[in-house]
C-alpha cells in the first residue's frame, strides 16, 4: 500500500477549502443580520462572503492547481516585501544623513 504524494499534499488545500466554506456561511448569516438591522454597508460584507465562498470552492475542487497558485503568489509577495524593506532602509538612511 503506497501513499501517493499528490493525494497527501492535496489534503491541506481541501481542508482549508472546507474551513473557508464554513466561514463564508457564517459571514452570510452576519450579512443577513446587518441588513435586517439597517447597516448601510452590508453589500460590502456580502461581497466578502461571496469571495471567501468562491476561494473555498476552488480550493476544494482543484487542490493541486490551487496549491501551485498559492506558492507562486506567496513567492511574489515575498519578493515585493523584500523590495519594500530595501526601499524603506534606503529612505531612512537618506533622511538621517
pLDDT tens, 9-36?
Answer: 778 888 989 999 999 999 999 999 989 9
Q: Which residue has the higher pLDDT, 48 or 92?
A: 48
pLDDT at position 1 over 60 = no
State whether 20 and 54 are in the same domain: yes
pLDDT at position 22 is 96
Number of domains in the chain: 2
Q: Does pTM top 0.75 for this prediction?
A: no
42: helix, coil or strand? helix
Q: Say if 4 falls within a structural domain.
A: no
Q: Say if 5 falls within a structural domain.
A: no
State whether 57 and 75 are in the same domain: no
pLDDT at position 12 is 84
Parent domain of 78? 63-97
Q: Say if 2 falls within a structural domain.
A: no
Query: Each residue of 36-91: pLDDT tens digit?
Result: 988 888 899 999 999 999 999 998 898 888 888 888 888 999 999 999 889 888 88
State whether 45 and 56 are in the same domain: yes
pLDDT at position 54 is 92
Question: Which residues have CB under 8 Å from 52's CB, separation 6+?
Answer: 20, 23, 24, 27
Q: Say if 7 falls within a structural domain.
A: no
State whether 54 and 16 are in the same domain: yes
State whether 54 and 68 are in the same domain: no
Count of CB atoms situated within 10 Å of the CB of 52: 19
State whether 95 and 70 are in the same domain: yes
Count of CB atoms situated within 10 Å of the CB of 35: 14
State whether 16 and 49 are in the same domain: yes
pLDDT at position 83 is 92
Amino acid at each position: 500500500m503506497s501513499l501517493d504524494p499528490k493525494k497527501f499534499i492535496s489534503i491541506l488545500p481541501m481542508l482549508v477549502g472546507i474551513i473557508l466554506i464554513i466561514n463564508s456561511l457564517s459571514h452570510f448569516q452576519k450579512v443577513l443580520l446587518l441588513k435586517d438591522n439597517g447597516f448601510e454597508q452590508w453589500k460590502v460584507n456580502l461581497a466578502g462572503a461571496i469571495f471567501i465562498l468562491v476561494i473555498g470552492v476552488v480550493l476544494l475542487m482543484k487542490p493541486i492547481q490551487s496549491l501551485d497558485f498559492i506558492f507562486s503568489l506567496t513567492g511574489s509577495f515575498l519578493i515585493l516585501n523584500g523590495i519594500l524593506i530595501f526601499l524603506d532602509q534606503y529612505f531612512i538612511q537618506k533622511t538621517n544623513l
